[in-house]
A = this chain, B = another copy of it.
Amino acid sequence: MQKGVTNSQIESVKQRIKELGFDYQLNSGEELTVIAVLGKETGSCDTQVFEVLPGVEKVFRIEKAFKLASRDFQQKDTILKIGDVEIGGKNVVIMAGPCSVESEEQILACAEIAKQKGAKILRGGAFKPRTSPFGFQGLKEDGLKILAKAKERTGLLIITEAMSIEDVAVVADYADIIQVGTRNMQNYPLLTAVGKSHKPVLLKRGFAATLEEWLMAADWILREDNSSVILCERGIRTFSNCTRFTLDVGVVPVVKRFSHLPIIIDPSHAAGYFGYVPVLAKAGVAAGADGLIVEIHPDPKKALSDGAQSLTFSDFSRLMEELKAIASAIGRSI
């Protein structure tokens, strides 16, 4: 739209879009207002239909498979503001905590060390996706309550996973950010449900997803008028088995080029082994990731899940010092 476009002009455009049987999505930034015309038949619609409307400056087609997640739709970086935490801005945001919520004691211990060392967000799974049906499935709502208590104590924000559309409401009640796991990246009903929750969403990359598929998955959330999506690279599946997954650190600048969404790195699931986690974390920050999500545990050997890849508190503390130095080396801070 033109600079100085009026609300009534915007309304007319929206109405025209509706008349033609399409959906729209409005992106009004400080400098630019963009209206996306959405629908499977937009290709057959002449752009002149919209060019003649008052207030319209230019009509163009987004050639990429992803639309709302693309830089064509929004030029400026998305910076999420959740409480007093900004994700996608100058600060590199650290999320830390155990794989699963196991007990209040465990979570409070993690929350304290996380807070003390500079993390801003506490992670912990209450609903656990497990490859085998015979593994530990999580404490469910009891787990969420423990996370809430840790938040109350420390002021850390909470991120936790929703596995099913049935969990979304209760998870949204407790969490500041809802996580969608790698196995659910193309679970479209779930993407729609977390989109509708209007909570910020961390969208993990499917471990065999291309960039296009990942950003199209983000589109599923964004189209529910939920612009708070954070991408998370957590390792892809390749022939190489020396780490559990192969961290695709090179995807960071590609995301930055083609999308306006923030991207963070999960070094723990990529590494699969605590000894490699700090290296991947440092590589991620140096690569320009907007944050990290790291697994820590007071006693990794006794963890109910993912013990092998969890950092002890002392390893985590040492890592945080190194990360601060690296962030500072590239003009950012933690």
Task: Tell me which of B134, B253, B257 contacts A38 (CB under 8 A).
Answer: B134
Number of copies of this kind of chain in the complex: 4
Given contacts A131-B65, A132-B219, A242-B210, contact A286 B275 (CB under 8 A): no
**CB-defined contacts of A174 to chain B, threshold 8 Å:** none
**CB-defined contacts of A254 to chain B, threshold 8 Å:** 242-243, 276
Cβ B188 vs Cβ A163 within 8 A: yes
Q: In the assembled complex, how far is the CB of residue A139 from the closest CB belonging to chain B, in whole angstroms? A: 14
Docked complex Cα distance between A239 and B275 (Å): 23
Residue of B nearest to A39 (CB): B134
**CB-defined contacts of A207 to chain B, threshold 8 Å:** 208
Cβ A250 vs Cβ B275 within 8 A: no
Cβ A239 vs Cβ B242 within 8 A: no
Instruction: Tell yes or no: A83 within 8 A of B by CB.
Output: no
Given contacts A66-B132, A130-B188, A243-B254, contact A165 B165 (CB under 8 A): yes
Docked complex Cα distance between A325 and B166 (Å): 48
Chain A positions 289-334 with a Cβ under 8 Å from a chain B Cβ: 322, 325-326, 328-330
Cβ B242 vs Cβ A251 within 8 A: yes
Instruction: Tell yes or no: A252 within 8 A of B by CB.
Output: yes
**CB-defined contacts of A16 to chain B, threshold 8 Å:** none
Instruction: Tell yes or no: A279 within 8 A of B by CB.
Output: yes
Q: CB-defined interface of A217-247 with B at 8 Å, one 1/0 digit per residue?
A: 1011001000000000000111111110011
Which of A1-9, A96-104, A108-116, A179-187 has 4 or more CB atoms under 8 Å from chain B?
A179-187
Instruction: Tell yes or no: A213 within 8 A of B by CB.
Output: yes
Task: Tell me which of B237, B242, B286 contacts A286 (CB under 8 A).
Answer: B286
Instruction: Tell yes or no: A248 within 8 A of B by CB.
Output: yes
Docked complex Cα distance between A223 and B252 (Å): 40
**CB-defined contacts of A144 to chain B, threshold 8 Å:** none
Of A135, A183, A236, most buried by chain B (CB within 10 Å of CB) is A183
Top 10 closest pairs, chain A to chain B, by CB:
A208-B208, A286-B286, A325-B329, A183-B186, A164-B189, A283-B283, A243-B250, A282-B286, A238-B238, A283-B287
- Known A240-B248, A250-B270; 7 more pairs at CB < 8 Å: A40-B136, A67-B134, A130-B188, A242-B254, A253-B275, A283-B283, A326-B326
- CB pairs A–B below 8 angstroms (9 shown): A38-B134, A65-B132, A130-B188, A166-B189, A236-B238, A246-B248, A279-B287, A286-B286, A326-B329
